[in-house]
Amino acid sequence: MPWTSLVLVGMLAWPLATVAAEPASPAWQKVQRVFEEIRARYPGRIDEDALANRAIQAMLQGLDQHSSLLDEQANRALRQDIRGTYVGLGVEVALERDALTIKASSEDTPAYQAGLRAGDRITTLNGVSVAGLSLEQALRLAQGEVDTYLSLTVLRAGEKSPRVVTVKRTLVPRATVHERRLEGDIAFLRIERFQQATPQLVVRALKRLEESDAPALAGIVLDLRDNPGGSVRAAVAVAAAFLPDETLVVSMDGPSIGSDSKLFARSQDPSRPARESLGEVPHYARSVPMVVLVDGGCASAAEILAGALQDHGRAVLVGTRTYGKGSVQSVVSLGDGTALKLTVAHYLTPNGRAIHGKGIEPDVRVEDGQDDGRNDPMDDDHVDPQRDEALRILEGSQLAAKSAATAHGAR
C-alpha cells in the first residue's frame, strides 16, 4: 500500500456554470431571520462559523447522500485525490519481521532517486523504531507535509551494516493503472479509479503491452471491478482509447451543466489540458475484441465507461450488476478553505439509460466466486471465474474470426 491513503469514493468532479444572483426567496429570508434572532437573543456564546456550517450540512443532508460540506482537510484531500497524487516517498511497503519491507519503488519518485529499492528493510523512521508497531502506526510516522524530510534507517541484503537515508516528501502520482498479458496474446488492463493522470497512464500501459518481440495482441480484458469512479473527464478520455473519435460517451441532465451536457470520445481535445488528452493510441486498442469486467463495486465514472462500451457494442460486459451511482457532483470553493460538494446532474448512457439506483446489467452474469473478498486480480494464482469467462469469450471471438477468414478465402 502507499505511504498515505487518500480515498475518494464515488466522486465525479465537474465544473459548474456560473450561477446568476437572484433576489432572496421567502424561504431564504426565513433562514436569515432565524440567524439574526439567534445572534441578537441567544444568551450564550455563539460561534457563527460553526452555526453556519451546521446549517449548511443540514441543508445538504436533506438532498442526497453525496452532497456535503467539506472542511479544509477533506477539501484538500479530495482535490489531491482527483489529481491522482499523494504526499509521500513513492514506495509500497509491507510490515515483515519488525521492519517495513519495500515491495516496489517506482522510478521518478523520491524513494527511487534516493537509492531505495524493492527488498530494502526500513527499521526506523526519524529515529523511531518500527518494531512492535502495526502497519498503520508505522505509516502515520512516515506521514508529513510536502517538501519536508524523512530520515530512514535501511538494511539491504548483502550489506554488513545499516545506512541512514534522508528522503524528501513530494507529491507522488498514484499507480491506478496496471497491465499484464494473459495467455500470451490477451491484454489485461486494470483501472482502480479515474484521476486526471489516468488517461495517459492507460495509453502508456497499452503501449507497454504491445511489445515488439511478443505475439500480436488478439483481445483486451478491461477490469473495472471495485472501481469507485473519480473524474468524469478522465473516464471520457479513456473511452477515446477504445471508441472512434466523436462517439457519444455520456449525456448529463442538470440545470447548471450548460454546453457540456454531452461528452464525446476525443483522443485529442485542444479545449482540455494536455494531461487529460490521450495522444497516440495503439491501433489494436480500437480493433481487437474486448471484454469489460464489472461488479457491485463499479460505480460512477467507471459505470460511464462501461455503459458507453456496452451501448456502442464495443465490449461484452462480464460479472455482476454495477453499483448504480448515476449522479454528478461538483466541488465549489467557498473561499475560506472549505468547499461545497453538490450533486448537479444525473447522467445517461449513450442509449439514454438512466442507471442511478439501478446499475448496469452485464451481458454475461458471472459471480465473483470469492466468499472472503477478491484477492489481487493481477496475481496468476488468483482464482477468478469472471476473468476466466472473459478469456473464453475472447477465445470464441478469435475462433469466429478465423472461421470467417477461412470461409472468405475459400470463395
Q: Give the active site residue among 223, 311, 368, 384.
A: 311
Q: Give the active site residue among 68, 300, 327, 330.
A: 300
Q: Give the active site residue among 231, 325, 330, 384.
A: 325
Q: What gap in Å lies between CA 361 and CA 322, rounded to an integer?
A: 7
- The backbone torsions φ and ψ at residue 247, rounded to the nearest 5 degrees and listed phi first, read -85, 130
Residue closest to 216 by CA, chosen among 280, 281, 284: 284
- Complete DSSP assignment for 367-411: ----TT----TT-TT---HHHHHHHHHHHHHHHHHHHHHHHHHH-
Between CA 325 and CA 328, with CA 326 as vertex, the angle to 5 degrees is 105
138: three-class secondary structure by DSSP? helix
Q: Is 311 a catalytic residue?
A: yes
Q: Is 325 a catalytic residue?
A: yes
Please name the amino acid found at residue 248.
Answer: L
Please answer whether residues 82 and 339 qualify as being in contact, where contact means their C-beta atoms are separated by less than 8 angstroms.
no
Please answer whether residues 345 and 254 qualify as being in contact, where contact means their C-beta atoms are separated by less than 8 angstroms.
yes
Beta strand extents in 28-185 (DSSP E only): 68-70, 85-88, 91-96, 99-105, 121-125, 128-129, 149-155, 163-168, 170-173, 177-182
For the record, the C-alpha cell of 309 comes out as 462500451
Q: What gap in Å lies between CA 139 and CA 133, rounded to an integer?
A: 10
Between CA 300 and CA 12, with CA 1 as vertex, the angle to 5 degrees is 15
Active-site residue set = 300, 311, 325
